[in-house]
Amino acid sequence: MKNRLTIISLLFITNLFAQSGHLMQGVGAVNMSMGGASTAQPIDISGALKWNPAAISVFEGSTISLNVGLFMANPELSSTIPTPNGPMSGTSTDVKSNSIMPSFGFVYGKKDSKHTFGAFAFGVSGFGVDFPESTTNPLNMPQSMGGFGNLTSNYMMLQTGLSYAYKLSKSVSIGVSPNFNIATLELKPNPTSSPTMAGYPTTNNAMATGFGGQIGIFYQNEEGFKLGASYKTEQQFSNFEFENTYLDNSSSENSFKMNFPAVYSLGVGYSNSKVDLAFDFRQVEYSKTEGFEDYGWSATGAVKGFGWKDMQVLSLGAQYKGIKKLPLRVGYTYNTNPIKPELAFFSTSATAVIQNAYQFGFGYEFSEKLILNAVYHNAKSDGSTEGPIYNPMLAGQTDSLGTVPNSKVSYKMDTSMLMLGISYKI
């Protein structure tokens, strides 16, 4: 059963790089092209299913949405350490392959009914890097020389769920969506395990399952103004159970718990015959989430967590409908950086530093039932995230993290994506 769940998860998210911390900023070609804004502007079913279950109440009949995208990321990792001959610095470039991003959504609602139902399977979260072993970048030098060696990570999370919306009136709807999650995590080396004289071990691809839910409310009036709000609970996960292998072929086991943070979303929308406008604000509660709130070293030298702070996300989107059968879309997303500079060292395997993302998309209506959608996405970090390097062997009462004097680690990233999707009314 465990192997089957892992295979299903891999079908939906492969080496996924997230955009808003370790969350994807949107889902599907339409929602991504609107910058992820959908809490109060349900242009398509995928965006409504992800950000506000109450908003699926605007759809009538049966609609299926299928999307697949090619995602490309280019992280860079740099570090500096002191040596007797002066500072040693180097930079590594990620060599991880491009990612395939599929998603599926379905909504059903009878005309004039107060009830609307939905189902979905989305890749909603992930991170991953592959920085090769290096003789010039101190952080990627072999473990026998004090570095991490080949630094590899691969985290993927699939979320499935059922959604239900109820119309309280012509203008107001409420919605609820229970969620079930599957996540896999692989770390090479594994800093959540205790090191030995052979250094930190590598892990298997461990799996964890989780659950949570989402509630929402949606309002629209006859003048085209819309409001929406939703709350997605913290997703409670089982432990990742790691089977570790050290460089000397000894082995060990350890567990690590990493939940998915709670997300608050507020949205405003406006629509008329020519345009749809959307604005979303999100608060991602990393500081209260197990696996992200703690940081530093355990008594045995294992890393306790990332130490991320809460993140804010602003999403803007516009759709122009003035060209027959060819809606045009633009979107912008701004993310604050959840990584504290002084704790940048603990997130070298999860370089979640994207700040500004731009999207351009369009649709083509083949018929009243079939619509093709496409989006191009480009995003960059605002400079580098950087901080000191730490060593548990140097940790003490006056310096609990063990700062390596005159050291520095930094990373930055840019991403791009092409995605196609179809929406079909049965």
pLDDT of residue 123: 85
Residue 12 has pLDDT above 80, yes or no: no
29-425, what's its fold? Porin (2.40.160)
Residue 333 confidence class, pLDDT cut points 50, 70, 90: very high
Residue-wise pLDDT tens digits, 281-309: 999 999 999 988 998 888 888 888 888 99
Give the integer Cα–Cα distance in Å for 211 and 199. Answer: 35
Higher-pLDDT residue of 99 and 277 is 277
Residue 9 has pLDDT above 60, yes or no: no
Residue 134 confidence class, pLDDT cut points 50, 70, 90: confident
* Tokens 């985290």, residue located: 155
Higher-pLDDT residue of 30 and 139 is 30
Q: How open is the CA angle 313-106-11, to the nearest 5 degrees? A: 75
Distance between start and end Cα atoms, the chain = 33
pLDDT of residue 391: 87
The b-or-e profile of 105-114 (16+ CB within 10 A means b, else e) is bbbbbeeeee
Residue-wise pLDDT tens digits, 60-109: 999 999 999 888 888 888 989 888 888 889 998 888 767 778 899 999 99
The b-or-e profile of 222-260 (16+ CB within 10 A means b, else e) is eeeebbbbbebbbbebeebebebbbbeeeeeebebebbb
Evaluate whether 179 touches 211 at the Cβ level (below 8 Å): yes
Burial class (CB in 10 A: 0-12, 13-18, 19+), 221: exposed
Q: What is the DSSP string of 201-246?
A: PEE--EEEEEEEEEEEEEEE-TTSEEEEEEEEPPBEEPPEEEEEE-
Q: Please, what is the average pLDDT of the chain?
A: 89
Residue 11 confidence class, pLDDT cut points 50, 70, 90: very low
Range list of β-strands (E), 2-60: none
Residue 126 has pLDDT above 90, yes or no: no
Most confident of 23-37, 199-213, 259-273, 282-296: 259-273
Residue 319 has pLDDT above 80, yes or no: yes
Evaluate whether 25 touches 35 at the Cβ level (below 8 Å): yes
Residue ranges of domains in the chain: 29-425
Evaluate whether 421 touches 30 at the Cβ level (below 8 Å): yes
Give the integer Cα–Cα distance in Å for 31 and 361. Answer: 10
Residues 54, 56, 58, 62, Cα dihedral to 10°: -150
Q: Give the DSSP H or E segment for 175.
A: strand 172-188
* Tokens 């993927």, residue located: 156
Residue 375 has pLDDT above 60, yes or no: yes
pLDDT over 90 percentage in the chain: 52
Q: What's the Cα-to-Cα distance from 34 to each of 102, 151, 196, 278, 393, rounded to whole Å?
A: 18, 34, 49, 8, 48
Which two three-digit tokens encode residue 243?
Answer: 């089977």
Evaluate whether 278 touches 271 at the Cβ level (below 8 Å): no
Q: What's the Cα-to-Cα distance from 364 to each of 40, 105, 254, 375, rounded to whole Å?
A: 23, 19, 51, 12
Residue type present at position 394: L
- Find all residues with CB under 8 Å of 146, minimum gap 6, and list them: 138
pLDDT of residue 381: 85
Give the integer Cα–Cα distance in Å for 150 and 189. Answer: 8
Bond from prior residue into 189 cis (ω within 30 degrees of 0): yes
Most confident of 53-67, 188-202, 378-392: 53-67
Residue-wise pLDDT tens digits, 246-255: 989 999 998 9
pLDDT of residue 1: 43
Range with the poorest average pLDDT among 139-153, 364-378, 407-421: 139-153
Q: How many CB atoms lie within 10 A of CB 30?
A: 31
Residue 231 has pLDDT above 60, yes or no: yes
pLDDT over 70 percentage in the chain: 94
pLDDT of residue 4: 40
Residue 18 confidence class, pLDDT cut points 50, 70, 90: low
* Tokens 């109450």, residue located: 54
What is the side-by-side order of every strand in the sheet holding 88-93? 88-93, 76-81, 408-412, 385-387
Q: What is the DSSP string of 283-334?
A: EE-GGGSTTTS--SB-TTS-B----PPPEEEEEEEEEE--STT--EEEEEEE
Evaluate whether 39 touches 265 at the Cβ level (below 8 Å): yes
Residue-wise pLDDT tens digits, 405-423: 998 998 888 888 999 999 9
* Tokens 């339409």, residue located: 30
* Short-list 361, 366, 375, 376, CA closest to 424: 366
